[in-house]
Structure 1
Amino acid sequence: MMSSVKRFLIGRPLKSDQLGDQKLNKTKALAILSSDALSSVAYGPEQILLVLITLSAAAFWYSIPIAAGVLVLLVALILSYRQIIFAYPQGGGAYVVSKENLGIYPGLIAGGSLLVDYILTVAVSVSAGTDAITSAFPSLHAYNVPIAIIFVLLITTLNLRGVTESASLLAYPVYLFVLALFVLIAVGIYNILTGQVSAELHAPLGTPVAGISLFLLLKAFSSGSSALTGVEAISNAIPNFKEPSPNNAAKTLLAMGSLLALLFSGIVFLAYYYGIVPRPEVTVVSDIAEQIFGRNFMYYFIQGTTALILILAANTGYSAFPLLAVNLAKDKFIPRMFTIRGDRLGYSNGILILGLLSIVLIVVFKGRTEHLIPLYAVGVFIPFTLSQSGMIVRWVRKKPEGWVMKLIINATGALISLIVTMMFFLTKFTQVWPVLVFIPLILVLFHRIHKHYEDVADQLRITSCTKALPIEGNIIIVPVAGITHVVENSLNYAKSLSAYQIIAVHVPFEREDEQVFEQKWTKWQPDIRLVSLYSPYRSIIHPLTKFIDTVQRKASESNYQVTVIVPQFIPKKGWHNILHNQSSLLLRAHLLYRRNVIITTVPYHLKK
């Protein structure tokens, strides 16, 4: 039944040679990998205004030069990540660049930050989209958390079906959002050019504002830079592109940067010219749309597509997280299960873990994750800074043709990203301080996992291991609960192994039962030694393991191997298992960590 449900949810398994069919073309990749960056247009401009309003509405004209600064950073990031795509076509983005050029720990800081950031991407995006829906339907507000969880489960299931299927479905809302905002910006600018918007709604550029300072402007700039989250996703997901993947990824990156620049600058300009003042209950985009269109179809179309893209921005995390996890797993810093492709050729373990951890965040923060946005943003700008610093080292070290211009591009991006990161810590320390806790913890976790894999490899390597001693014979211990076909089946198997000695072990709880069982055993299996371990405290595991340890110690002196054969009957139907105690399962679990003891299960399948 479970296999039928699985097939219904994620589809039929795909052959490994169908991997090429799961690659993305530029159109679908732009929608899937740009949704996070493009969705930030819905809140990035608002973050600038929220800082400037602390002075007065007259300070809103500063949003124009601040937006210009954000665009400069965007250009530097786009050009930088374009260079990263061609320099590291295998993907990995900031993690691979930082590790190769700055060292293992900067690489792990970048990789760990991005892993956490992609989890935050899903939780924040889905929660924000849920808020947009429940704002339109207030009666649903009490169900924010269940609704958000349902969205995460749907997106997770869709991604488990494969990259192309999720891209085919999710591309439409993304492009509808882009269309809606372009219409909004075009109509808004048309109204301005035709004199339908009063110039009194905004303060002229250059208006003196009391209390303005460089610190406040940098704070507004760093807040507005949250619109650039998600820019790095394409460089992490190069393997998802059709061949030639680096060229297609680079073109998609440029297209995303162009769309983001146009939409971001357009919304900032309209917000300034229309004199939009940010309010807690209404978003800036909603306010602009209402002033331009009123409460008609276009207004609700814009609001609906905005809510959709906020939810679908989570899909960027599902595209980039598994591929970043693959790179970390190949380097033995996270579990190797992240390198395994699922039935639909996606890295399903990464997808499932991302969905699970996102749900945990949503539940813990009760769907109100908006105060995690600064943490979410700083988690991106740390890798931004490290990756571009790594590229600086690469150009200085290799000095390829045209390296000076490339160096200038990366140096500009690294400097601005560092400033933004520092401003987050200076101005929003109370919100971003967890970064200073979780990054060291992640590094410790990475180190412990890597050490474990190295230790395992060292012990399994034949050339470095002590030569195993030959086994002189086999002492087989068979725990027996009664005289049944299950026990008979296990004893027959034990006899077939040509063992040095077979010992049946019975653990009675009453002295009378012990004597009765010994008499029956002598008649049934007179050639097999029976050991009775009376257990007055009704424990089976303790006396049995104590006996096995004793036999093992004596056997090791003569190079004999101890094997425990566990008889187990298998019910015809799975639910029948709950009607029986699971002593064999408990015994195997307990003996699994015993050194130099082999555990073998002999199943006996029931027919009805």
Structure 2
Amino acid sequence: MKLHELLFGKPLRATEQESERVGAVTALSVLGLDALASAAYGPEAALTVLLPLGAAASGQVGVLTLCIGAVLIAVVLSYAQTIRAYPNGGGSFTVANENLGRTAGLLAAAALCTDYALNVAVGISAGVAAAASAVPALLPWTLPLCLAILAVLVVVNLRGVRDSGLVFLGPTYLFLAALFGALALGGFRTILAHGHPAPVMAPPPAPPAALALTPWLLLRAFASGCTALTGVEAVSNAVPIFRQPKVRKARFTLVCIAGCLLALLLGEALLTRAYGIVATEPGATGYQSVLSQLIGAVAGRGPFYYVAMSAIFAVLALSANTSFADFPRICRLLALDDYLPPGYAHLGRRLVYSNGIALLAAVSGLLLVVFGGITDRLIPLFAIGAFLAFTLSQAGMVAHWWRVRGPQWRKSLCLTAIGAVATFVTLCIVAVSKFMEGAWITLIFIPALVVFFAGQRRATERIWRERTDPSPLDLTNLARPIVVVPLQVFDSIAHKALRLALTLSHDVRAVQVRTDDLKLDDLGKSWNALVGEPARNAGLPPPRLVVLPSKYRAFLGPLLTYLRTVFESTGNSPITVLVPELVRRRWYHFFIPSRVTMLKVLLLLDGGPQISVLSAPWYPADEVDESTLSRYGRRSWNRLRKLGRRPA
């Protein structure tokens, strides 16, 4: 088995797409990781803002969690209506685009793309932070660990939806079992102790109070805590990945995810207050996450603690998988409408949108490097994209129900209207409270992304208008091109290139660019004997040799100048540059710089429309011997036979 097949699996036929669909149990791990994992960093983000209150911070978590829970319920009820109305996938882009117009749709798409990229970075960095809480020696390795986890996620997601769901199934349910177990144990002890349980392991002492409680501080804490709601929209974006009946299974999955998240948030809020737990400074020596303190206070630092922290680390790190499931689908929709290059709409070898996965990995990796893999530095940028997409989606559904007016449309309209108002108010709070902390970056980037999408579509439409030609193929005034063959030496590679050139044109010109730093043979002395006489004996006009000096050791500049001179002096005759090329098959040869590859690229970029570029490949004998050819031939023949037996 080849290495890439071992990593990414064997290619899947298009007819196997149905087998890649998932049920509610697997979908909970594929689409619910983001939302469930936010229970680990959402409350901590709120408590971090309340650090200046000292020990009083834990007393404010309950009210904040109730407010966040109310917004969550409104959003979930609204998205349940969206799934029913858009059974083929009702993501924010689709809903806003169809009901509010193109600009609103692009704004929703840009917001979602931004949110998904940030979600990957935040999820992975929060997972590494959880691991560093249990094993402080890992703290200096934060960024390398983040990038390693990102690489693993990319490989797993390139294997397909079903494989990624199976990989994440165990960590997801272990996380739920461990966290609910810890909350149940803590709740039981709290009841026995009449609301004042003694911690098994005391949490770090709260810092002294530096500020008094103010409404502004509470709003900032609420805005940070709302990061717990990100990922709820994932199910509505990915309805097509469910098995039939997909609408019922998608809505059931959404309710399960939201119910688990709400229970976790409320349980954490109650126990955080009961045990007097506050946040510690992120990235500082002695840092412990809120969940690490909570589980230590409830169960101590025994085997259960390390099992629970391992599950939290795994789910936080893998929560980015939700973005890898949905981001490529957003890219596909944008590509189908020409807002992105068409390559993003094509399914890869494992029936996933590989180009979208690669783009998300690149952007998220850049975010991790820029912000050092520290969660607290990324949180201010987070949530704005999600709540902007929430608001546009809910507003679009209000317009949808007002226009369609199907059965029970008034009930659906009221639910989506409540969701739209709740998410819009939350968006305003998040944007204002986090603006100076870094949210301004997101508020600038999202409109810039909308401008990019619109510009991409205009460019695509302009090029398509230029390409479109309904007239029949014009074969009048055909002229053979002037063929120019760049040479350095006369060898077997040049020999093959010149033979091919003479079959294309009677005007063949070999060009040698001579520089002082390279000791090249003087081809003029032997050109007639090696090339001229054989051509004349074959009844062909002999190729001309042109030697171009280069004082500054440049190769492409003199060649391009010569090509333009030929084009102008011959009455704008077409020119074909036939590039002799040594082709190596070994994998390590791809890491060796190739002057020929650069030459072809630069000719295409700088040569202009009058120049065509062809390759004359030449293979070393040790790489194309009879055994190699027969081996490649057998493989190709076996593939063709298998392909012929497959149903169309």
Do both proteins adopt the same fold according to a TM-score greater than 0.5, normalized to the shorter chain? Answer: yes
2:413 counterpart of 1:407: yes
Within a 5 Å distance, the mapping from 1:94-133 to structure 2 comes to 94-133=92-131
* Cα pair distance change 1:48/1:542, threshold 3 Å: closer
Instruction: Determine the C-alpha separation between the residues in 2 that align with 1:348 and 1:4.
Output: 19
Two-structure CA RMSD over aligned residues (Å): 3.0
Cα offset for 1:325? 1.4
| Structure 1 counterpart of 2:257, one-letter code | M
Instruction: Determine the C-alpha separation between the residues in 1 that align with 2:166 and 2:587.
Output: 39
2:524–2:545: 8 Å Cα contact kept in structure 1? no
Deviations 1:339-377, CA, capped at 9 Å, x for gaps: 222222111222222222222222222221322113111
What is the match of residue 238 of structure 1? 239
Q: Which of 546, 549, 560 is the equivalent residue of 1:545? A: 560
| Structure 2 counterpart of 1:320, one-letter code | D
Instruction: Determine the C-alpha separation between the residues in 2 that align with 1:411 and 1:295.
Output: 47
DSSP-derived class of the 2:391 partner = helix
* Cα pair distance change 1:254/1:549, threshold 3 Å: same
Instruction: Determine the C-alpha separation between the residues in 1 that align with 2:329 and 2:90.
Output: 7
Q: Which of 517, 522, 526 is the equivalent residue of 1:513? A: 522
Q: Which of 147, 172, 178 is the equivalent residue of 2:176? A: 178
Within a 5 Å distance, the mapping from 1:141-540 to structure 2 comes to 141-195=139-193, 197-198=195-196, 215-280=216-281, 281-431=287-437, 432-463=439-470, 470-479=476-485, 480-497=487-504, 499=505, 501-507=507-513, 513=522, 515-520=524-529, 521-526=531-536, 527-537=541-551, 539-540=554-555
* Cα pair distance change 1:369/1:292, threshold 3 Å: closer
| Structure 1 counterpart of 2:461, one-letter code | E
Q: Which of 569, 579, 585 is the equivalent residue of 2:597? A: 585
DSSP-derived class of the 1:434 partner = helix
What TM-score do the two structures reach when normalised by structure 1? 0.89
Instruction: Determine the C-alpha separation between the residues in 1 that align with 2:178 and 2:140.
Output: 30
Cα offset for 1:196? 5.2
* Cα pair distance change 1:482/1:113, threshold 3 Å: same
Deviations 1:172-210, CA, capped at 9 Å, x for gaps: 111111112222222233233334543999xxxxxxxx9
Instruction: Determine the C-alpha separation between the residues in 1 that align with 2:472 and 2:458.
Output: 21
What is the match of residue 205 of structure 1? none
In structure 2, list runs of 5 or more residues that go unmatched.
200-210, 282-286, 623-648
DSSP-derived class of the 1:277 partner = coil
* Cα pair distance change 1:605/1:416, threshold 3 Å: same
What is the match of residue 93 of structure 1? 91
Deviations 1:99-122, CA, capped at 9 Å, x for gaps: 222222222121112112111111
* Cα pair distance change 1:199/1:5, threshold 3 Å: closer
Larger mean CA deviation between 186-195 and 6-15 belongs to 186-195
1:362–1:369: 8 Å Cα contact kept in structure 2? no
Instruction: Determine the C-alpha separation between the residues in 1 that align with 2:374 and 2:64.
Output: 28
What is the match of residue 207 of structure 2? none
Instruction: Determine the C-alpha separation between the residues in 2 that align with 1:157 and 1:35.
Output: 18
What is the match of residue 643 of structure 2? none
Instruction: Determine the C-alpha separation between the residues in 2 that align with 1:369 and 1:415.
Output: 29
Instruction: Determine the C-alpha separation between the residues in 2 that align with 1:508 and 1:53.
Output: 70
Q: Between the two proteins, what is the percent identity of the paired residues?
A: 33
DSSP-derived class of the 1:166 partner = helix
| Structure 1 counterpart of 2:388, one-letter code | I
1:474–1:563: 8 Å Cα contact kept in structure 2? no
What is the match of residue 207 of structure 1? none
Cα offset for 1:231? 0.5
* Cα pair distance change 1:569/1:301, threshold 3 Å: closer
DSSP-derived class of the 1:592 partner = helix
What is the match of residue 595 of structure 1? 609
Deviations 1:85-109, CA, capped at 9 Å, x for gaps: 2222332511111122222222212
What is the match of residue 634 of structure 2? none
Q: Which of 611, 621, 624 is the equivalent residue of 1:607? A: 621
Deviations 1:288-307, CA, capped at 9 Å, x for gaps: 32333233333333322222
* Cα pair distance change 1:76/1:604, threshold 3 Å: same
DSSP-derived class of the 1:342 partner = coil
What is the match of residue 284 of structure 2? none
Cα offset for 1:385? 1.1
1:478–1:503: 8 Å Cα contact kept in structure 2? yes
Instruction: Determine the C-alpha separation between the residues in 2 that align with 1:334 and 1:155.
Output: 24
1:471–1:561: 8 Å Cα contact kept in structure 2? no
DSSP-derived class of the 1:345 partner = coil
Instruction: Determine the C-alpha separation between the residues in 2 that align with 1:571 and 1:267.
Output: 60
Cα offset for 1:223? 3.0
* Cα pair distance change 1:556/1:80, threshold 3 Å: farther
1:555–1:562: 8 Å Cα contact kept in structure 2? no
What is the match of residue 45 of structure 1? 43
What TM-score do the two structures reach when normalised by structure 2? 0.84
DSSP-derived class of the 1:474 partner = coil
Instruction: Determine the C-alpha separation between the residues in 1 that align with 2:300 and 2:481.
Output: 86
Within a 5 Å distance, the mapping from 1:61-100 to structure 2 comes to 62-91=60-89, 93-100=91-98
What is the match of residue 204 of structure 1? none
* Cα pair distance change 1:543/1:518, threshold 3 Å: farther
